[in-house]
Chain A
Amino acid sequence: MELYVPILVLAVLAAGFAVFSVTIAPFTGPKRWNRAKLDAYECGIDPTPQPVGGGRFPLKYMITAMLFIVFDIEIIFLYPWAVAFDQLGVFGLVEMVLFIVTVLVAYAYVWRRKGLDWD
């Protein structure tokens, strides 16, 4: 049973933090109204009015999201390698370098094609 005490403590701490943050926010946060706060959340496109013929819409968020996925996958592969780094030896190192170089190619492409510029 003692094994579960840390988990219980963690759960209590997490719940406490959540409740504390939510209840304290209305009292401490500034209340300055602006138009952006009433917009649809973060999708980058004004839902209304619809532009004529569908219009062009910016892909900024999508490119950021795609970049995130690329690097996210890279991290996912880096974790297990980092854990077993010494056992994997030279073979693991070479494979990992190859993998990271390949991801870097995608990164270089995005960078050169101005995917990292916001405007």
Chain B
Amino acid sequence: MNNTFQAPTIEYGQLAPLLLVFGAAVVGVLIEAFAPRYLRKSFQVPLTFVSLLGAFALILVQVFVSGVPTAPAAMGAVAVDGPSLFIWGVILILAAVSVLLITDDDHFVPQAAAVPGSAEEDDALAEGAAHTEVYPLVLFAVGGMLLFAASNDLLMMFVALEVMSLPLYLLCGLARRRRLLSQEASVKYFLLGAFSSGFFLYGMALIYGFAGTVDLAGISRALGTVSGQDPLLLIGTALLGVGLLFKIGAAPFQAWKPDVYQGAPTPITALMASGTLVAAFGALLRVFWVALGNLDWDWRPVMWGVAILTMVLGAILAITQTDIKRMLAYSSIAHAGFLLVGVIATGDARQNADALSGILFYLLVYGITTVGAFAVVTVVRDAGGEAGHLSRWAGLGKRAPALAGVFAFFLLAFAGIPLTSGFFGKYAVFAAAATGGALPLVIVGVVSSAVAAFFYVRVIVLMFFSEPAADGPTIAVPSMGTAAVVTVAAAATVVLGVFPEPVLRLADQAASTLFIR
């Protein structure tokens, strides 16, 4: 008891974006507690935007004024390095755009506790009760995403994982229409997510048993002391991998994705499909490159299998889908596979930087296109809410040419057609993988891209070259927010497809320092 305690040094400046988002979330809870019901939304929406955009501004200050830090912050618990800052920027942009979708009240149930279709629910609907808790929950989830991608030790990463996931489990169950589907999605996501968190935690415990530390750099150092095969290390690595691969929805841990994406309110699906994926890839890269980088001979073959399975499974199962959100979910699985190709393409520092830069760029362009695509999905409606079934989309090009045109453009970007942002994203990752000695993977990736292009084009054909159904879906007049999201996403997809140079260079710069340890 005689050793004196030394207060840890905490770089509040570096952590400011995180603190701002979490602080705003806490203030949001206070608003829920004390503001009268009719005022809550008018407090929550500005607060959410100010905190997200403020955090983004703080990142810009960090990058362009104070300079990218070269050592981990908060006693090595959080690494605010180039890749972190880029990923933070991407997550904040995607979150702000998703919140624009969320501001449309129509997506969220007035009283989540009411049994679907019951009198209580009708009462709450008539009363105009609205759940503005959505906003603090989204802020907590976004804060968790930021921390998840930047955590430099496994314990911090686990806390971030939970802070990110718990609000998302709740948000999934809040869809206004198709309540049972939404609640089912919520329960499935919660149970499977909790299960995967268990895997992560167990893996973490075993790795700690091996290395005696949860610090990523410490684990990397401990790898140097081992000779031969250490069962604790190998089993721990596998379990950690299961936890992380679940979050990105890589096969064989992809089963939750279609159900959850379909059931969740579409704005939340947009947030999950973009933000969560970005954050999870940040964490995955950090664990497998920083902590387990010297173990790549052991994890690489497994990761090869996972990547191939994910790409093939995502592309092939998407063909059989009849629901637009499920189809986008399988497409998201395929894209996770393409991104995994980049994760495998490690080599020397130069090679790593190339692969990382490709992944960062891919995450940005895929995320923004995804949010745009889901924004379009929210607008095409029929009596029961969104017209999810693909047959309902037949002939949409004749009824709403502009909207169908934008959606077709997003689909082409997913397929990776030149002159869309998706092309450069795929090119950057596959080129890095090809030089990194993963040529067979690239071939599988290109083939599954071609298969995926088939079902994207099928939707386009359906929209433009089939007769509209007599009682086809109505195109809701998009709210300001939704229209802005579609516009921003379409603009970003065009600009990054025609003139990707500045953002590619930014990604290059962010990746050039690699992950600090």
Residues in A lying within 8 Å of B, measured CB to CB: 53-56, 59, 84, 87-89, 91-92, 102, 105-106, 108-109, 111-113
Contacts and interface: CB of A to CB of B under 8 A. Distances in A.
A87 B30 CA distance: 33
B7 A91 contact: yes
B5 A112 contact: no
Contact of A108 (B5, B7, B34, B115): B34
Interface string B18-44: 000000001001101110000000000
A56 B32 contact: no
Given A54-B115, A56-B120, A108 B4 contact: no
A89 B115 CA distance: 52
Given A53-B115, A87-B5, A89-B7, A113 B33 contact: yes
A109 B5 CA distance: 35
Given A54-B115, A84-B5, A87-B5, A109 B26 contact: no
A102 B5 contact: no
Interface of B: 4-5, 7-8, 26, 29-30, 32-34, 113-115, 118, 120
Contacts of B33: 105, 108-109, 111-113
Contacts of B29: 105-106, 109
Specify the main secondary structure of chain A where it touches its partner: helix
Given A56-B115, A56-B120, A88 B5 contact: yes
B380 to A, nearest CB: 32
Contacts of A84: 5
22 contacts: A54-B115, A55-B115, A56-B114, A56-B115, A56-B118, A56-B120, A84-B5, A87-B4, A87-B5, A88-B5, A89-B7, A91-B8, A105-B29, A105-B30, A106-B29, A108-B30, A108-B33, A109-B30, A109-B33, A112-B32, A113-B32, A113-B33
A56 B112 CA distance: 12
Name the residue among A88, A89, A109, A111 with the largest chain B CB count within 10 angstroms. A109
Contacts of B4: 87
B155 to A, nearest CB: 15
Contacts of B118: 56
B32 A109 contact: yes
B264 to A, nearest CB: 22
A91 B9 CA distance: 10
Nearest to A109: B33
Contacts of A55: 115
Nearest to B8: A91
